[in-house]
């Protein structure tokens, strides 16, 4: 049986590395081409030496994409760069999964307001489907272009979507408090992710203005039909990977612990990668996997619904979710190639 042919555009970062780590064991696809203009002419193992004797493909220029009869292309490119590729290739024979934020939002105007960049391809917003399978599975199956969600939004949206969809909470009082490992900032050195700054430290950043705020807000609104307002604050942990998000919301009607659990079970009990857990989850429970562990409770004293969700920001928050979307787009079993056991300790 022939395998689907995939290409990865942008191989030097953590996301490109994770895509390869997952796809080399996928039974239904083969990596036909992998690009990195900045390292063209070198080999993948020159950039990611952990793949020595495992995956040793050459790194080629982006122009090589057209020389392969590809079924799907992953874009592991920076924000503001992916849109150029989509503009040039959207009408070609392959499907595209974009892991940047270039097509996650509702319009070029919203993008430019939050990303502080000009958007060069407004037509792409007409084609793009937001790639969170738990909410938009049927649309993803039919999509030509999927905008893979951000890592923080994945953790927050899964926690808030059932509450908003059921009309149980005050849509103007939604608080998301998130912590992330430093790989979320990419593999290029930055002052705020320098080891002496991050080690033995804990900081908030992007207060009131982080670009994932609007992504969370727009997606839960599109899914639930609400007109919500989200307050989102991210924090940087001195760990390499993982996200833990805690959300706080106020009920608009009488609720109970039993009712909240029943609703989340109805929404997620049959989802292959969402696990409803009875104890507070930790990062290492999902490390290296496409799992999202979700804990929900109701605090009667303060009349507050609290959720705690954990994901691996590089897998369910990026590469793993992209493969999950690929499976849907190609008509494969959704969990194919993603049966990965968490790495703990």
Report DSSP letters for 101-170, one per residue.
STTSSS-HHHHHHHH-S--S-TTHHHHEEE--HHHHHHHHHT-SEEEPPPHHHHHHHHHHHHHHHTT-EE
Are 48 and 60 contacting, i.e. CB atoms less than 8 angstroms apart?
no
Q: What is the 3-state secondary structure (H, E, C) of 164-179?
A: HHCCCEEEEEEEEEEE
Catalytic annotation present for 266: no
Contact 309, 151 (CB under 8 A): no
> Which tokens go with 4?
């689907």
Helix axes of 108-115 and 212-224: crossing angle, nearest 10 degrees: 150
State the catalytic residue, choosing from 31, 99, 151, 283. Answer: 151
Domains of the chain: 4-148+316-329 (3.40.50.720), 152-313 (3.30.360.10)
Q: Each residue's pLDDT tens digit in the chain (345 positions)?
A: 799 999 999 988 999 999 999 999 999 999 999 999 889 999 999 999 999 999 999 999 999 999 999 999 999 999 999 999 999 999 999 999 999 999 999 999 999 999 999 999 999 999 999 999 999 999 999 999 999 999 999 999 999 999 999 999 999 999 999 999 998 877 676 777 778 888 889 999 999 999 999 999 999 999 999 999 999 999 999 999 999 999 999 999 999 999 999 999 999 999 999 999 999 999 999 999 999 999 999 999 999 999 999 999 999 999 999 999 999 999 999 999 999 999 988
Q: Considering the entire predicted model, what is its pTM?
A: 0.96
CA 220/CA 226 separation, integer angstroms: 8
């Amino acid at each position: 049986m022939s395998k689907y042919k995939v290409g990865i555009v942008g191989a030097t970062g953590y996301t490109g590395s994770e895509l390869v780590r997952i796809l080399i064991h996928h039974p239904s696809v083969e990596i036909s081409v992998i690009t990195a203009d900045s390292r063209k002419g070198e080999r993948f193992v020159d950039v990611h030496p952990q793949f020595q004797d495992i995956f040793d493909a050459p790194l080629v220029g982006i122009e090589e994409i057209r020389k392969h009869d590809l079924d799907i292309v992953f874009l592991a490119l920076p924000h503001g760069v992916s849109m150029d590729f989509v503009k040039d290739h959207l009408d070609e024979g392959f499907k595209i999964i974009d892991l940047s934020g270039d097509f996650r939002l509702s319009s070029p105007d919203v993008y430019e307001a939050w990303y502080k960049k000009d958007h060069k391809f407004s037509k792409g917003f007409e084609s793009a489907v937001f790639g969170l399978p738990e909410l938009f599975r049927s649309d993803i199956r039919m999509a030509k272009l999927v905008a893979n969600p951000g890592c923080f939004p994945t953790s927050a949206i899964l926690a808030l979507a059932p509450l908003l969809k059921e009309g149980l909470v005050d849509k103007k009082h939604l608080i998301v408090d998130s912590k992330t490992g430093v790989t979320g900032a990419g593999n290029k050195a930055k002052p705020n992710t320098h080891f002496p700054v991050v080690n033995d430290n804990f900081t908030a950043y992007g207060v009131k203005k982080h670009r994932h705020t609007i992504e969370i807000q727009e997606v839960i609104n599109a899914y639930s039909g609400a007109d919500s307002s989200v307050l989102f604050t991210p924090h940087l942990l001195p760990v390499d990977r993982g996200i833990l998000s805690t959300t706080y919301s106020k009920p608009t009607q009488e609720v109970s612990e039993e009712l909240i659990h029943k609703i989340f079970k109805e929404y997620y009990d049959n989802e292959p990668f969402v696990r409803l857990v009875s104890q507070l989850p930790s990062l290492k429970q999902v490390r290296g996997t496409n799992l999202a562990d979700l804990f929900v409770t109701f605090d009667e004293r303060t009349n507050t619904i609290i959720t705690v969700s954990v994901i691996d920001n590089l897998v369910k928050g990026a590469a793993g979710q992209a493969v999950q979307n690929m499976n849907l787009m190609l008509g494969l079993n959704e969990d194919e190639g993603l049966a990965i056991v968490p790495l703990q300790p």
